[in-house]
């Protein structure tokens, strides 16, 4: 398998659009090199295992925030909003394995799905699980991740059997160490999650336009004050701060992958004034957009 970074493509519903593996074998592995900014908030139906190989990562999943050090990792459950950032403002390297529950459980009419997978998907205490290499059972999961990653990369004949075996072991370990919580998520928690997905989806769709907090709130049929509360409690930012951050992230990609003029990139990403674009970009990266483009191209030292 060719090594690649995990692509982030988000639908109008805030859902990850990337196809991980194929419909016949829904599993894929990636190596990501984080530079100076976060991957945007998103969610997907697949489970995700991440291990930090070099550096450190700032990972937010649901209402939890983690600083994941080198060698440690995290599990993110299906449908959980999450983002990944660089914790130490230098390049960090991650290995990830992303796989759909049906890789292990097959259809919903199997005992695997009904007895184990569905309860785990609904387990509020397992939205995200930090994996510390100093803890024996968690190191065991991390080792399975690495074996799976290497098997994926080789794709030797019969590799699908080996990956399903490794991921079944991971799921068994996570389930036995994180039994279903007696209480279901509160109606308010579930409502907040759906509201956040709707508001993030609006921002991800309309970031290139003039966007007001009122419009963001209206996308989830709530008041501005409730939108502010949801954002603050969920991701620790205001809608305006998140919008600006997402615009900068989109600008990064265009600076790295196109030859478009910087003023045109600013306009494409919702910055109507070049001075504000340059100021906002510098606040995040400590450099101008043009300097960032040179660094990304390797023509200027960081």
**Is the pLDDT assigned to residue 175 strictly greater than 60?**
yes
Looking at residue 4, its pLDDT comes to 43
Q: With contact defined as beta carbons under 8 Å apart, do 103 and 27 qualify? A: yes
Q: Return d(Cα 15, Cα 81) in angstroms, integer.
A: 9
The tally of CA atoms less than 13 A away on the side-chain side of residue 47 is 26
- C-beta separation of 128 from 82 below 8 A: yes
Residue 269 is predicted with a pLDDT of 96
Span 279-294, pLDDT tens digits: 999 988 889 999 999 8
N residues, the chain: 302
Is a pLDDT exceeding 90 seen at residue 15? no
| CA dihedral of residues 231, 84, 86, 274 (deg, nearest 10) | -60
Report the pLDDT value the prediction gives residue 11, as an integer from 0 to 100: 43
- Residue 50: predicted pLDDT: 96
Query: What stretch of H or E contains 27?
Result: strand 27-34
Q: Mind listing the pLDDT tens digit for each residue in 136-170?
A: 999 999 999 999 999 998 899 999 999 999 999 99
Task: Tell whether the model's pLDDT for residue 135 goes beyond 80.
Answer: yes
Q: How confident is the model at residue 1 (pLDDT cuts 50, 70, 90)?
A: very low
Q: What is the pLDDT of residues 261-278, one digit of tens each?
A: 999 999 999 998 999 999
Q: What is the pLDDT, as a whole number, of residue 38?
A: 67
**Average pLDDT over all residues of the chain:** 86
Q: How confident is the model at residue 178 (pLDDT cuts 50, 70, 90)?
A: confident
Q: What is the pTM of this model?
A: 0.72
Cα distance between residue 85 and residue 257, in whole Å: 20
DSSP-derived secondary structure for 56-110: EEEEEETTEEEEEETT-EEEE-TT--EEEEESSSS-EEEEEEEE-THHHH-STTS
Confidence of residue 117 (pLDDT cuts 50, 70, 90): very high
pLDDT reading at 213 higher than 60: yes
Confirm if 152 and 163 have CB atoms less than 8 A apart. yes
- Alpha-carbon distance values, 43 to 46, 88, 114, 131 (Å): 9, 24, 23, 20
Contact 62, 120 (CB under 8 A): no
Contacts of 21-24 with C-beta under 8 Å, sequence gap 24+, read: 21/99, 21/100
Q: Which of 205, 52, 227 is nearest to 235 (CA)?
A: 227
Residue at token pair 């995990």:
6
User: How many CA within 13 A on the CB side of residue 55?
Assistant: 19
Q: What is the pLDDT of residues 248-258, one digit of tens each?
A: 989 998 998 99
pLDDT band at 297; cut points 50, 70, 90: confident
Q: What is the pLDDT of residue 299?
A: 57
Which residue has tokens 């130490």?
Answer: 88
pLDDT at 108: 83
- Cβ-Cβ contacts under 8 Å for 148 (sequence gap 6 or more): 29, 49, 97, 163, 166, 167
| Least confident stretch, 34-38, 51-55, 108-112, 221-225 | 34-38
Q: What is the pLDDT of residue 171?
A: 95
Task: Check pLDDT > 90 for residue 36.
Answer: no
Q: By mean pLDDT, which of 36-40, 66-70, 131-135 is the weakest? A: 36-40
Nearest to 193 by CA among 299, 301, 43, 20: 43
């Amino acid at each position: 398998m060719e090594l690649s970074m995990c692509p982030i493509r988000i639908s109008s519903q805030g859902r990850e659009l990337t196809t991980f593996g194929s419909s016949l074998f829904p599993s894929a592995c990636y190596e990501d090199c984080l530079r100076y900014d976060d991957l945007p908030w998103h969610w997907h139906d697949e489970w995700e295992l991440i291990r930090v190989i070099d550096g450190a990562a700032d990972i937010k999943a649901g209402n939890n925030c983690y600083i994941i050090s080198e060698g440690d990792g995290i599990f993110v459950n299906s449908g959980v909003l999450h983002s990944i950032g660089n914790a130490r403002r230098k390049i960090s390297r991650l290995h990830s394995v992303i796989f759909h529950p049906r890789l292990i459980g097959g259809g919903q009419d199997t005992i695997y799905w009904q007895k184990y997978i569905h309860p785990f998907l609904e387990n509020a205490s397992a939205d995200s699980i930090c994996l510390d290499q100093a803890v024996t059972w968690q190191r065991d999961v991390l080792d399975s991740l690495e074996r799976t990653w290497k098997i994926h990369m080789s794709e030797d004949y019969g590799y699908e059997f080996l990956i399903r075996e490794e991921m079944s072991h991971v799921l068994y370990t996570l389930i036995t160490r994180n039994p279903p919580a007696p209480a279901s998520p509160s109606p308010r928690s579930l409502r907040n999650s759906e509201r956040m997905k709707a508001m993030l989806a609006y921002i991800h769709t309309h970031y290139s336009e003039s966007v007001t907090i009122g419009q963001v709130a209206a996308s989830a049929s709530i008041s501005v004050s409730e939108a502010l509360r949801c954002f603050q409690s969920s991701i620790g930012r205001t809608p305006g701060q998140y919008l600006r951050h997402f615009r900068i992230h989109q600008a990064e990609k265009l600076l790295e992958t196109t030859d478009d003029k910087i003023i045109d990139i600013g306009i494409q990403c919702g910055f109507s004034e070049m001075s504000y674009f340059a100021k906002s970009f510098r606040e995040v990266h400590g450099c101008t957009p043009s300097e960032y483009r040179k660094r990304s191209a390797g023509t200027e030292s960081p």
